Copies of this chain bind each other. A is one copy, B any other.
Amino acid sequence: MTTITGVDVHDVRFPTAAAGDGSDSINRGDYSATYVELSTDGGVAGTGFTFTNGQGNEITCAAVRALAPTLIGVDLDGDPLAFLRALTAHPQLRWIGPEKGALHMATGAVVNAVWDARAKLAGKPMWQFLAELPTEDLVAAVDFRHISDALTPGEAAAILDKGRAGLSERLEELRREGFPSYTTSVGWLGYPDEKVRALTRQAYAEGWRAMKMKVGGPIEDDVRRAGIIRAEIGPDALLMMDANQIWGVDEAIANMARLAEFDPYWIEEPTHPDDVLGHARIQRAVSPVRVATGEVAANRVVFKQLLQAGAIGVMQVDACRVAGIPEVLAELLLAAKFGVPVCPHSGGVGLCELVQHIAIFDYLRVGTSLDGRMIEYVDHLHEHFEDPVRTREGRYLVPTRAGYSSDMRAASIAEFSFPDGPAWN
């Protein structure tokens, strides 16, 4: 038995806004993290974080502090569902969600820190820790309340049992070839045309064959930029587009009719993330272009509906907006049930580090296919992590260190702590 003895939270912010990195039709900020360290009596520290956009990071930090009393004394090997619900169904805190927004993001940070500690105790990287868990342990971690009309515990168990077959061959393949990915570093809205062209050319030369651009500015600008990128990458490479929620439903359909000539592979976040019915209408209108969403989908209930409504062709789970590993597991299982590929949302602060584990576990044990699977890659801020992602010719290499690759370097925490770190003085 290993118990949690302390909870520390750090408000860490990187001054990225000035360069236009990460700018899109909705967001423009300083990439930040609400970074949680759990002390335990077992000789390991669990770490987790949620990504924010600068201002407001103090709010998610406050939410972590509100959750902290519920964490102290928790047995890391106790009932995972009882622990999860102590946070997600807290009789007082739940009201300011429920299961969404700042509180749920903080929940994601602390739940991931618990699972990081568990993987470290087992001496395994997170993908391996999960892939080797017995089916009943994985099923026991999932909260099926409010999703059992779409996925029963029995169906989940069947998916996970089936995933055992061929697992070692799939792992061998990943170790040999890496996991497919795509890059979002070429087409932020804040970049001028010539920078987009140069970055696209450079990425293509480095081996990337799938690239994402931001859309949602004036449509003529979007058309011009899409033309620049498509001309650089030729007809065979994949071009994804991301509207970051700016459009209305009818507007999304009209604008995608304009952009269809550049053969987009998917349109990401075409409209408001809560609009399940709107996404379903857009998906019917733009097919065979796929609708992709999920980076700010609040929880498994929203993903359940996106799948039930046939609203998405690509599901983009986020590692720490939802309630950490157990809720991500629910989402992977739902996607497998409905036959929709998962391409995790990444970028931000440390999201690449986390989602590589999710995608690898999904391939090994849940989705069991690489067809249509890619991990987003953004080339920012990896240097602040103890176990940064490694890529080779547009593919993620399998991580080997124990845990969730979430440990931030102590020097980075000190340098970028807000408002007192040297970077902010």
Contacts and interface: CB of A to CB of B under 8 A. Distances in A.
Interface of A: 17, 26-30, 52-56, 58-60, 62-63, 66, 89-105, 145-149, 245, 248-250, 271-278, 281, 296, 298-299, 301-302, 304-305, 308-309
Contact of A58 (B62, B271, B301): B62
B28 A91 contact: yes
Contacts of A66: 55-56, 58-59
B58 A96 contact: no
A299 B302 CA distance: 14
A281 B92 CA distance: 29
A191 B233 CA distance: 68
A352 to B, nearest CB: 18
B301 A60 contact: no
**Number of copies of this chain in the oligomer?**
2
Contact of A146 (B58, B146, B272, B299): B272
Given A97-B101, A302-B274, A59 B59 contact: yes
A276 to B, nearest CB: 6
Contacts of A147: 248
Per DSSP, chain A at the interface is loop
Contacts of A60: 96
B100 A298 contact: yes
B89 A26 contact: yes
Given A92-B54, A275-B301, A100 B101 contact: yes
Given A103-B101, A277-B308, A29 B92 contact: yes
Contacts of A149: 248-250, 278, 281
Given A96-B56, A305-B276, A26 B91 contact: yes
Contacts of A104: 101
A311 B275 CA distance: 14
Contacts of A52: 95-96
27 contacts: A26-B94, A26-B98, A28-B91, A29-B91, A29-B92, A30-B92, A52-B96, A53-B95, A54-B92, A55-B92, A58-B62, A59-B96, A59-B103, A60-B96, A63-B102, A98-B245, A99-B272, A100-B274, A101-B101, A101-B102, A146-B272, A149-B248, A274-B274, A275-B304, A276-B276, A277-B308, A278-B305
B100 A100 contact: yes
4 closest cross-chain pairs (CB), A and B: A101-B101, A29-B92, A53-B95, A55-B92
Q: Taking each of A59, A105, A275, which has the highest tally of chain B beta carbons within 10 Å of its own beta carbon?
A: A59
Contacts of A27: 91-92, 94-95
Name the residue in A89, A99, A100, A248 with the highest tally of chain B Cβ atoms < 10 Å from its Cβ. Answer: A100
Contact of A103 (B95, B102, B277): B102
Nearest to A60: B96
Given A98-B273, A101-B104, A248-B148, A93 B56 contact: yes
Contacts of A148: 248, 250
A29 B298 contact: no
A274 B299 contact: yes
Contacts of A296: 95, 98
A305 B27 CA distance: 25
A274 to B, nearest CB: 5
A210 to B, nearest CB: 25
Nearest to A147: B248
Contacts of A95: 27, 29, 52-53, 56, 296
